Amino acid sequence: MLQLSTALGTKSSKLIGFSTHLVHRDSFESPLYDSSINQSELVERVILRSSSRLSYLKSLLQLPNNDTEEISSIDSRIEGISGDYLMEISIGTPPVMQWAVLDIASDIVWTQCLKCVQCYKQTQPKFNPMKSSSYQPIRCDAKKCKQLGEFINCIDPSSNCKYQLVYGDESYSFGELATETFKLGNTYLPEMVYGCSNNNDGLFKKTNAGIVGLGNGPNSLISRLHRSIPRKFSYCLTDASKGNAKSKIDIGANAIVSSRDSISTPLVLMKPPDFYYITLKAISIQNMRLPITGVTKISLKGNKFGAPKGNAFIDTGTTLTYLHDDIYYELEEELISMIQDSPIPSQSSLKLCYKNSKNFQFPTIIFHFSRGANLTLQMKNTIVPYRGQLCLAILPIDENLVILGNILQMNHMIGFDLERRKVSFLPNYC
C-alpha cells in the first residue's frame, strides 16, 4: 500500500508522502479482536472507553472530572488512554514491528522496551534498544528533551533524558527519550523522537505496545518529519461492524486536505495541550438552527477559548461525541419534538434512545463550523444500535467545549494541513 521505499537521509526537492492502513480494534484484522463478544457487548465497551477517554482528556485540560461514571461494571481493564484505531509501526534497525494506538491528541511515540523495570504483559515482542544500531539516547540539555516541559525527569544536563507520562486513569509510562528509525510499510523515517518505555503500569491492553502520537506537539510523529515531507495528514475511518473494512491514513504529500467536494474550516492551534481545535458555530436539525452562543470562556494553562473560536477538538481516541450541557439538552429537546416516536428508557448510559424499527426516521443533523463548513451527518454518524434500541451517540458534559468523536468522523476523509492551518472534510470518500 505504501508508495515510497526509501530512507529519508538524502536531499531531495521532491515532496514525499506515504499511505498505510489503520485497523479498528474490534475488526477481524485487529490483534484485539475477540470473536466471543457480541454487538451489545461491543457497544458497552465503546461507552466505557469513551467515558475513560473523557476522564483522560479532562486531566490533560486540567478540568474537574464530574461527568464520567465508575468504570468497573463491565470490564475493569478498560484503559483511559486507549484508542479505537491501531497503527502498525516498526521501530529500530533492524525494524521490530509493533501494534500501537493512533492518538492525534498525544505528543510522543512510545512503546515498551527492554530492559523492563516494570512492564505490563505484552503479546508482541518488546523492542530491545541494545539490538538496534540506530538507537541514540537524547541528553537532558538537548532541545528535544526540553520540549517535553513538565514531563522531563532529568538529573543533570549531561545525563540521558528521562520522561514521565501519567494518564487520567493513573496509568503511567516512564522511560528514556531517544532518536530512532521508524518504518511505516516500506518507508524509513530516521532520527525520529522515540520514547523507550521500560517502567509502565496501569490499565494497558497486552496486545497494545504503546502510543503513536500524531498531535501538534514538537515531538509527535507529524512534527518530527523530514523537511521533504509536508506537515499534513488525512485519514478515513471505517465502521468496525463492516468486518475487515480497513481505514486509511495518508501522511505528507499523499494527504488529501482539499478537493472540489471537500469543505474546510480554520485549524485553531493552542499550546498546551496539543489538540486540533476547530470552531463549532451552530447545529441544525432539519431546518432548525441552534447557534452556539453565550459560552463562557475558560482558561487552559494561559489560553482562553470559547465560542466562537476554538471551542471543539477532533479526537480519534474518543468514540462518542460530547457537547456542553446547555447545547446538548437543547439539541435533545429539538430532536424529541421532531421525532414522531416517543423516546424509551435507555438500557445504557446513553441519554436519548428509541425502539429500533424499520420505519424509524431520525432527523438529519448538520454541524456548522466556521468559514461556512457545513458537515451533514448520516444516521450512522449520530446513532448507535444497542439491545433493540437506537440511541444518540452524543452525550453532555459540564465544560464549555466540544469533543468530536470517531463515530461522528466515520466515512469522511478528514485532512489536517498544519502549514495552512485548516481542517477539511470530504464525505463518503472511504
Domains of the chain in start order, with CATH, are 6-252 (2.40.70.10), 263-427 (2.40.70.10)
How far is CA 418 from each of CA 262, 308, 409, rounded to the nearest angstrom? 17, 21, 19
Cβ atoms of 194 and 177 within 8 Å: the answer is yes
Strands 365-369, 389-392: pairing kind: unpaired
Q: Which of 270, 327, 323 is nearest to 294 (CA)?
A: 327
Give dist(CA 191, CA 338) in Å, integer.
Answer: 56
pTM above 0.75, yes or no: yes
Residue 301: left (phi > 0), alpha (psi -120 to 50), or beta? left
- Reading across the β-sheet that carries 288-291, which strands appear in turn? 288-291, 280-285, 365-369, 373-377
pLDDT in tens, the chain (430 residues): 333 444 554 444 466 888 877 887 666 566 566 666 666 666 777 777 777 778 778 777 777 665 544 333 323 233 334 557 888 899 999 999 988 889 998 888 999 999 888 887 888 889 999 999 999 999 999 999 998 888 888 988 889 999 988 765 566 789 999 999 999 878 899 999 999 999 876 656 666 788 899 998 888 999 988 777 899 999 998 876 555 567 889 999 889 888 888 999 999 988 766 899 999 999 999 889 999 875 444 434 433 444 457 899 999 988 899 999 989 999 999 999 999 899 999 888 899 999 998 888 899 999 999 999 999 999 999 999 888 899 999 999 987 779 999 999 998 999 999 999 999 999 877 7
Cβ atoms of 362 and 383 within 8 Å: the answer is yes
Which three cell numbers, joined as nine digits, stand for 11?
Answer: 536531499
Q: Which of 234, 278, 180, 249 is nearest to 415 (CA)?
A: 234
| Upstream peptide bond of 94 is cis (omega within 30 degrees of 0) | yes
Question: What is the three-state SS of 132-150?
Answer: CCCCEECECCCHHHHCCHH
Which three cell numbers, joined as nine digits, stand for 181?
Answer: 528509525
Between CA 340 and CA 343, with CA 342 as vertex, the angle to 5 degrees is 125
| Residues carrying an active site annotation | 103, 315
